Amino acid sequence: MRKLTALLAASLALACLTAATAMAGTTLTYANFPPAKTFPCIQMEHWKAEIEKRTGGEVSVQTFPGGTLLSAKNMFRGVQTGQADIGCISTSYYPGVFPLMSVVNLPVAFTTTEVASRVMWDLFRKYQPNEFADVKVVTMFTSAPSQIMSKEPVKTLADLNGMELRASGSILQILSGLGAQGVGMPQSQTPEALQKGVVKGLVSSFDVLKDFNFAESCRHETITNLPVYPFAVIMNKARWESLSPEIRKAIDDLGQEQAVWTGKYLDQHIQDSLNWSKETYQVEVHELTAEEHARIKELGAPLVDQWKTEAAKAGLDADAILADMLALKAKYEAQ
Ligand code: DTR
């Protein structure tokens, strides 16, 4: 009898707790490093709205753009330790930490963000890389192909000689091959570096001309089609495991859709941003010759071998991963 009473009391307590949790709902904090207007934050707000809708308001997401909760470089650790439930990282800001997914940062001439983002997500799903073992991956996407934005014109590659340009990841090495001086830093530090003259321009996708108003100081844009930067949205593992199966399903169902949505948004926004920059600041767009594009390609080639060596050191089947990436790229480009 006493056992039964205890059991009843325990079930009652559990029922009350469950009801209280349901009433209180679940709040998830989501940290991001760049300002609210930029595409990593636009996609964050889209994800928030979708998850709140799909869970019927049971989940509410509290977003923290602009590094207000975690900065670019603290993001990975901050999510692992639970300072934020969710965080958005640019894997290129963590050299050597993501041996598999950094394949997406290689110079393989992605032409759209949508294709690159689809490829990245599929690769992640297929390989479930160990580098993300300590966190739950919510979605992935990339930036658009990278171009040069500078104060002084870069009309030919020779104009790059000695020019300090902010970049990250594989692009730094290509820049040094071109005679420029790459300065590695997260995007969120670029406005100050440009303003102080530490750098004379940057290498990124054209969305930043409008979203950071870089068009005002960088009136010259040179089409280089350098690599895309990979991004991952990650969640604290224990927090993930504490969520109900229904909430987890809503999050999982959104993974690929979110990657595609972000890709489409950015592809369109690149065009809008460039048009806006031409109208507002009369920026000039410079095209390089076919020979100069070939030179850029040549400088990128050793990066593939370097990536393979690093990936093999991390115990990965580099050839298979690379072949899969190229096959996925071809498949989505054909669609
Ligand atoms: N090009 C990468 C990624 C990137 C492109 N646009 C934005 C906006 C905000 C943050 C990052 C990015 C980079 O420059 O870091």
Q: What does CATH list as the number for 28-144+229-270? A: 3.40.190.170
| Protein residues with CB under 6 Å of any ligand 1 atom | 34, 38-40, 90, 143, 146, 168, 187, 204-205, 207-208, 229
Q: What is the pLDDT of residue 70?
A: 98
Using alpha carbons, list the distances in angstroms from residue 112 to 118, 124, 174, 281, 309: 10, 19, 20, 25, 27
Q: What span, in angstroms and rounded, lies between the C-alpha atoms of 177 and 200?
A: 18
The number of the ligand 1 atom at minimal distance from the alpha carbon of 207 is 6
Nearest CA to ligand 1 atom 12: 187
Q: State mean pLDDT over 161-165.
A: 98
The number of the ligand 1 atom at minimal distance from the alpha carbon of 93 is 15
State the helix-helix crossing angle for 113-127 and 245-281, rounded to 10 degrees. 150
Question: Which pLDDT band holds residue 43 (cuts at 50, 70, 90)?
Answer: very high
Q: Domain segments of the chain: what residues?
A: 28-144+229-270
Q: What span, in angstroms and rounded, lies between the C-alpha atoms of 265 and 259?
A: 10
pLDDT tens digits for 306-335?
Answer: 999 999 999 999 999 999 999 999 999 999
Nearest CA to ligand 1 atom 8: 38
pLDDT tens digits for 225-264?
Answer: 999 999 999 999 999 999 999 999 999 999 999 999 999 9
For the chain, what is the mean pLDDT? Answer: 94
pTM exceeds 0.95? no
Q: How far is the CA of 93 from the centre of ligand 1 (A)?
A: 10
Ligand 1 pocket mutation, candidates 33, 38, 171, criterion most atoms within 8 A of CB? 38
Name beta bridge partners: 40: none
